[in-house]
């Protein structure tokens, strides 16, 4: 499930946060800009988690409907 949604998304989000933190630490962006970046990253992560949950829920419902496991776990 997570592979279909991008395993490297979490790493990319972490890299983006670290970059924003460095820019703020160097005085290149304001605290407000840093917080806005962090909020966008949190929103992106929430969307990814919601999508993963939706796929898992759909798979469970499909397995319940057909009465057997569907695909690898």
SS3 of 2-71: the string is HHHHCCCHHHHHHHHHHHHHHHHHCCCCCHHHHHHHHHHHHHHHHHHHHHHHHHHHHHHHHHHHHCCCCC
Which one, of 41, 45, 49, lies nearest residue 20 by Cα?
A: 41
Q: pLDDT tens digits for 10-60?
A: 788 889 999 999 999 999 999 999 999 999 999 999 999 999 999 999 999
| Helix, coil or strand: residue 72 | coil
pTM for the complete prediction? 0.72
Q: Are 50 and 71 in contact (CB under 8 A)?
A: no
């Amino acid at each position: 499930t997570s592979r279909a949604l991008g395993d490297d998304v979490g790493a990319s989000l972490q890299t983006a946060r670290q970059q924003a933190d460095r820019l703020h630490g160097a005085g290149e962006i304001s605290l407000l800009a840093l917080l806005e970046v962090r909020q966008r990253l949190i929103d992106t992560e929430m969307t990814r988690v919601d999508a993963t949950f939706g796929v898992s829920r759909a798979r469970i419902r499909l397995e319940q409907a057909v009465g057997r496991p569907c695909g690898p776990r």
